[in-house]
């Protein structure tokens, strides 16, 4: 028997305080179609060995990113991660450490977070960065909420090139805070209306570069228009390696910069855990969610690290808290910092150059195929192809050839059935690209 400490009287008392008629009423926000009516169709009793064998058989049906030519991106990217990264993050002092509630006795953890913040600030061209968020999408949502606090306005304009998952996460948070979201349809080269949508009621405009289609966006006009109406520019990215090759958002007038840090030090990991990057101007730091670690000296003049700012006081202020995110992605932030330290300034720039060169080479090869058109005018290591056939069956056919050949845009947003996102990194060999070209040429014939 499982240990169930509550009896029905206890449950009724709690429901009475909550104001719910029964337990089912607690799940009203879950659509009826998503609720289970019966038990999941799984065996009720299995031995550990049987369960292990079942999962092994299932996993053998999957094709891993490391086993075939891999060109999927759309917000999560396959990069080479040095073995030293995984070795170091599995040391017990890192692997078992948690949020430092007595921070000054956790000097190692604080120093790592301080180094992480420094690297993120340098990469984004901003004044200050926090000690990480859950991931890029939730960081984007937190940035929109922060902009509302700063400007005391409720309208947020989302550019068409914003990743649909980031837009959805922002919408989910905004609807509970009465934030008015103006969302543009997700389609290539459709941001022309964004500037006209910025007015005196606007708290922020959210622009991604490189955007979800891989296009590099000049953020300067958005910054100028936003600032003219006392609004903030929130710059978003999903590929941090790109920031080593293009002008950082902070140098283009961004007030808040958020994005995904997975590409540096963190594997694909079936979609998570990842690490959200969040940076802003110095004048906005007290409205920034998360924690900020600082460097100081002790009474003896020796260098030390402190928790300079902790705005996530959800355990005290509850609904009045700056943010209700309850933890950071400390281990992933550590992996990011180790990898970035190994690369250094010259290394990250060289890595960016390798990514861009490989992407240009593959874009040239694929766009020369009949029925394949390159949509982008500019890109970093990801680009969009318009096919003369629906993209989804083409991707399925590529998989039959042993190639994971990109992400159909229709998987991210409705419509755009003929668009295919292709990502290329330093892990894509010449043989991989040749195999992709050859297979796609056969499929498009």
Q: Per residue in 333-362, pLDDT tens?
A: 999 999 999 999 999 999 999 999 999 999
| Neighbour tally for 60: CB within 10 Å | 7
Q: Got the DSSP string for 104-170? A: GG-HHHHHHHHHHHHHHHHHHT-SEE-S-BS-HHHHHHHHHHHHHHHH---EEEE-TTS-HHHHHHH
| Residue pLDDT, tens place only, 277-295 | 999 999 999 999 988 999 9
Is a pLDDT exceeding 80 seen at residue 96? no
Q: 330-367 vs 430-444: helix axis angle to the nearest 10? A: 50
pLDDT value at residue 127: 98
Task: Inform me whether the pLDDT recorded for 3 exceeds 90.
Answer: no
Q: Which residue has the tokens 């958002």?
A: 249
Q: How many whole angstroms from its chain centre is CA 8?
A: 43
Q: CA-to-CA distance for 202 and 205, rounded, in angstroms?
A: 8
The pLDDT tens digits for 370-390 are: 999 999 999 999 999 999 999
Pairing of strands 303-310, 291-297: antiparallel
- CA–CA gap between residue 154 and residue 181 (Å, rounded): 8
**248: pLDDT strictly greater than 90:** yes
User: What percentage of the chain exceeds 70 in pLDDT?
Assistant: 95
The span from the CA of 15 to the CA of 25, in Å, is 9
Q: Which domains does the chain have, with CATH numbers?
A: 83-340 (3.40.640.10), 345-444 (3.90.1150.10)
What is the pLDDT at residue 315? 56
The residue among 180, 282, 218, 245 whose CA lies nearest residue 380 is 245
Please give the residue that has the higher pLDDT: either 37 or 123: 123
Please, what is the average pLDDT of the chain? 92
Residue 302 pLDDT grade (very low, low, confident, very high; cuts 50, 70, 90): very high
Q: Give the angle subtended at the CA of 167 by the CAs of 166 and 173, to the nearest 5°.
A: 90
Whole-Å CA distances, 219 to 97, 202, 251: 39, 17, 9
397 pLDDT higher than 80: yes
Task: Report pLDDT for 134.
Answer: 92
Per the DSSP assignment, residues forming a β-bridge with 256 are: 234, 280
Residue pair 195/222 in contact (Cβ under 8 Å)? The answer is yes
- Residue 226 CA to residue 14 CA, distance in Å, equals 48
DSSP assignment string, 232-247: EEEEEES-GGGGGTS-
Task: Give the Cβ contact number of residue 337 at 10 Å.
Answer: 27
Query: Would you say residue 170 has pLDDT above 90?
Result: yes
What pLDDT was estimated at residue 39? 85
Pull the structure tokens for residue 221. 């006009």
The model's confidence at residue 319, banded by pLDDT at 50, 70 and 90, is: low
The length of the chain in residues reads: 445
The pLDDT score that the predictor gives to residue 98 is 67
pLDDT in tens, 106-163: 888 899 999 999 999 999 999 999 988 999 999 999 999 999 999 999 999 999 999 9
Q: What is the pLDDT of residue 199?
A: 97
Structure-block tokens of residue 182: 């103006």
Cα–Cα distance measured from residue 346 to residue 61, given in angstroms and rounded to the nearest whole number: 41
């Amino acid at each position: 028997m499982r240990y169930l400490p509550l009896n029905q009287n206890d449950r009724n008392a709690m429901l009475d305080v909550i104001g719910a008629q029964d337990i089912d009423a607690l799940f009203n926000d879950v659509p009826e179609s998503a609720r289970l009516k019966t038990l999941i169709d799984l065996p009720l009793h299995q031995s550990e060995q049987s369960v292990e064998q079942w999962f092994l058989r299932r996993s053998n049906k999957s094709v891993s990113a490391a086993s075939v030519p891999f060109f999927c991106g759309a917000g999560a990217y396959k990069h080479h991660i040095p073995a030293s990264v995984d070795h170091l993050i599995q040391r017990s002092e890192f692997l078992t450490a948690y949020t430092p509630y007595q921070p000054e006795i956790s000097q190692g953890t604080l120093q790592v977070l301080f180094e992480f913040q420094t690297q993120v600030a340098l990469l984004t061209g901003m004044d200050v960065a926090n000690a990480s968020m859950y991931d890029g999408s939730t960081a984007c949502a937190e940035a929109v909420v922060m902009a509302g606090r700063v400007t005391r306005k409720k309208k947020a304009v989302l550019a068409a090139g914003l990743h649909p998952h980031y837009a959805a996460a922002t919408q989910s948070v905004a609807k509970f805070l009465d934030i008015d979201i103006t969302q543009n349809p997700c389609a290539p080269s459709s941001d022309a209306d964004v500037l006209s949508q910025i007015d005196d009621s606007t708290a922020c405009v959210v622009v991604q570069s490189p955007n979800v289609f891989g296009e590099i966006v000049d953020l300067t006009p958005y910054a100028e228009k936003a600032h003219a109406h006392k609004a903030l520019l929130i710059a978003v990215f999903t590929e941090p390696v790109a920031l080593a090759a293009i002008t950082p958002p902070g140098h283009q007038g961004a007030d808040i910069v958020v994005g995904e840090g997975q590409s540096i030090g963190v594997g694909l990991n079936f979609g998570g855990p990842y690490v959200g990057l969040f940076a802003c101007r110095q004048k906005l730091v007290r409205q920034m969610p998360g924690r900020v670690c600082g460097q100081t000296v002790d009474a003896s003049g020796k260098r030390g690290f402190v928790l300079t700012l902790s705005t996530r006081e959800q355990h005290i202020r509850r609904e009045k808290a700056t943010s209700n995110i309850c933890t950071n992605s400390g281990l992933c932030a550590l992996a990011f910092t180790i990898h970035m330290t190994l690369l250094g300034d010259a290394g990250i720039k060289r890595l960016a150059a390798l990514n861009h060169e490989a992407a240009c080479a593959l874009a040239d090869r694929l766009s020369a195929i009949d029925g394949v058109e390159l949509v982008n005018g500019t890109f970093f290591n990801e680009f969009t192809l318009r096919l003369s056939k629906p993209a989804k069956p083409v991707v399925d056919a590529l998989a039959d050839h042993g190639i994971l050949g990109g992400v159909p845009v229709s998987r991210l947003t409705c419509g755009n059935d003929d668009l295919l996102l292709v990502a290329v990194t330093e892990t894509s060999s010449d043989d991989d690209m040749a195999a992709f070209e050859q297979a796609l040429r056969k499929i498009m014939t």
